Chains A and B, each alone.
Chain A
Amino acid sequence: MYKVWMKFSFIWQEKQNVPNSMKQFYHFIVKEFYHIFRDRKTLFILLGMPMVQIIIFGFALTNEVKNTKITIINQSEGASAARLVQKIESSRYFELYSQSTDAAQIDRLFKKGAVKIALVIPNDFDPSIVNQNKGQLQIIADATDPNVATALTNYLSVIVQDFQKELNSNNTIPYKMDVEARMMYNPQLKGAYNFVPGVMAMVLLLVCTMMTALTVVREKELGNMEILLASPINPIKIILAKAVPYLLLSIINITTILLLSYFVLDVPINGNLFLLYAESILFIMVSLGLGLLISAGTDSQQSAMFISLVAMFLPTVMFSGFIFPIENMPLPLRIISNFIPAKWFFIIVKSVMIKGVGLKLIWKETLILTCMMLFFFGMAIKKFKIRLA
């Protein structure tokens, strides 16, 4: 990559008719790339971070139900009950931990932490299905973690409903009401559909905002900024040149994330890929603008880092809707969330990538991000200029 770059710079130099100001800009960008390439550790982190995050979120931090241990209290000795048990056992969501007839077992296993959910099949289950076309089951869940309990209960109910349908297919009943819940866009309720857009927002924000802020502030700390300002190069060009390498790095990062999520996590890209990239670049620009704004207001790398992390990163995680649903927040927090760029980007990526919608349905979010970008860049340039006077 390095060699290709050198070759490119060589070709560029052959063109002597490039205007001077463009050449200055080019020299500046080359210098920024040197900084990035020489700092191998940071480069490694920048390019490796999205991979690590996708893998962590994809395989470790998941609230999907998979092979959850279940205990079944089967007091019925009938064939239907046995078939139900078999069905649950063979599903990939549950794994049979134990089976007994003693209901007191449930409490003991819950307290031990061995299982989180139990199914009670009463002794009249089989006769009642045959004679009254009606069967009763009881699901008992350990609700110390309410989200998990709800999810498990839902999964188990679906299996029971399935089972019911199988039974019905054999005989015809005059009245039948089928309720079929369809999980649109994500039929398997995969967590990846939610966190891939979230990881994209986080990685882009971290790389662009923090790294640009740091690189500008580093020039100030080293005292090189004065030298640059005393040179004929336009200050605006200085800060724009700082942003260009991170724009390119971020495009590489988006590509990594999309490739990993498509091929490894099976997340579809239902919408237009170009639109997805265009929107991502828009968000990158917002983050770069934010980074430049932070750098214009700070003089030490430490404070630049602190502001980027505390003022940018935490609200992004909390208010983008990626981890905590915004709809459930109280009004003041919902209002605050509107000022978080990642919230809008999160909506856009989910819409384009998962729902496959076009620009027509996300123009409002796009417009908001565009305004934010213009605002941040405008403020950064203004602040930069004030400091010169």
Chain B
Amino acid sequence: MHNKAIIVDKLSKQFGDFKAVDEISFEVAKGEIFGFLGANGAGKTTAMKMLCGLSMPTSGNAMVAGFDVYKDNESIKKNIGYMSQKFSLYEDLTVRENIKFYAGIYGIASAVIVEKTKQLLLQLNLEKEADLLVGQLPLGWKQKLAFSVAIFHEPQIVFLDEPTGGVDPITRREFWNLIYDAAAAGITIFVTTHYMDEAEYCNRVSIMVDGKVEALDTPANLKQQFNVQSMDEVFLHLARKAKRTE
């Protein structure tokens, strides 16, 4: 119990007749990098929204960072970070202003913000760009900055919804280095992606098909289980069975 960051038990979300998420169950350990895969329309985003407290489950149970998704919505929000597939910083604010704003709405004290901003800019090598508008930065830098902002308040878990969409392979690699650093610092990473090479970087992955979790294991074990060479093939093998399309 204490070394689990997320515990999901038969969690479902129904929209009318449509079961977007159908009794999924899994656990994520603290400090783990957990890949949450699935084709478009498989129910990933809906499941993730329930875990982030953005959407109420229809049935089942889930504990996130030790809090119940039904009752402790507000406590969950304080203890998680979230970065969505759409770019999430404000283009007409400077790097520094963006950091200050997001840190501010998480209630971090001003003195702490100033100090941590300095460290972060140093770490990302963005000191010269601190007072540039975010809109002037290249996409890869923005993504890295967005991730750093998402974990600025030192959450227990960070949810990343397709964080590397549209980014070149080198930047993606750098982005994953940031993820590894965060995981090493004890932050649990819950990430969705469409890139199967990224799935290989995860400690464990789950693959959702038509609202259900069809497979869940380490990448190595999954490849062995399906007797294939790459995660790509594992994914195709499972996703082909899907009846739903977007």
Contact = CB atoms under 8 A, between A and B. Distances in A.
Contact of A232 (B74, B84, B93, B100): B74
A224 B104 contact: no
Contact of A229 (B54, B87, B93): B54
Most buried by A among B53, B56, B107: B107
A222 B93 CA distance: 14
Contact of A227 (B82, B92, B97, B109): B82
A389 B56 contact: yes
Contact of A28 (B54, B77, B88, B105): B105
B84 A13 contact: no
Nearest to B135: A38
A223 B87 contact: yes
Contacts of B133: 38
A23 B90 contact: no
A224 B88 contact: yes
Contacts of B83: 227
A231 interface: yes
Nearest to A38: B92
Given A35-B90, A38-B92, A27 B77 contact: no
Interface string B98-129: 00111011110111000000000000000000
A231 B110 CA distance: 18
A223 B45 CA distance: 14
A108 interface: no
A16 interface: yes
A31 B88 contact: no
A235 to B, nearest CB: 11
Most A CB contacts (10 A, CB to CB) among B85, B97, B102, B104 go to B104
A342 B116 CA distance: 49
A313 B87 CA distance: 33
A231 B55 CA distance: 13
A20 interface: yes
A50 B87 CA distance: 36
B41 to A, nearest CB: 18
A233 interface: yes
B106 A232 contact: yes
Contacts of A13: 110
A226 B82 contact: yes
Interface in A244-281: none
B52 interface: yes
A196 B109 CA distance: 47
A233 B78 CA distance: 9
A388 B74 CA distance: 13
B57 to A, nearest CB: 11
Q: Which of A24, A35, A38 counts the most B-chain CB atoms under 10 A from its CB?
A: A38
A226 B84 contact: yes
Given A31-B97, A34-B97, A227-B82, A222 B104 contact: no
A233 B105 contact: yes
A124 to B, nearest CB: 79
Contacts of A39: 92
Nearest to A15: B110
A224 B106 CA distance: 15
A367 interface: no
A228 B83 CA distance: 10
B80 interface: yes
B92 to A, nearest CB: 4
B10 interface: no
B86 interface: yes
A230 B80 contact: yes
Contacts of A24: 104-105, 107
Contact of B77 (A38, A222, A232): A232
Nearest to A28: B105
Given A227-B83, A232-B74, 20 more contacts: A27-B100, A28-B101, A28-B105, A31-B90, A34-B92, A38-B92, A38-B93, A222-B87, A223-B85, A223-B86, A226-B82, A226-B88, A227-B84, A227-B88, A228-B105, A229-B54, A230-B52, A230-B82, A232-B105, A388-B55
30 contacts: A16-B109, A20-B107, A21-B107, A28-B105, A30-B101, A30-B104, A31-B90, A31-B97, A34-B90, A34-B92, A34-B93, A34-B97, A35-B90, A35-B92, A39-B92, A222-B88, A223-B84, A223-B85, A223-B87, A223-B88, A226-B88, A227-B82, A229-B54, A230-B52, A230-B53, A230-B82, A231-B77, A232-B106, A388-B54, A389-B55
Interface of B: 52-56, 74, 77-78, 80, 82-88, 90, 92-93, 97, 100-102, 104-107, 109-111, 133, 159
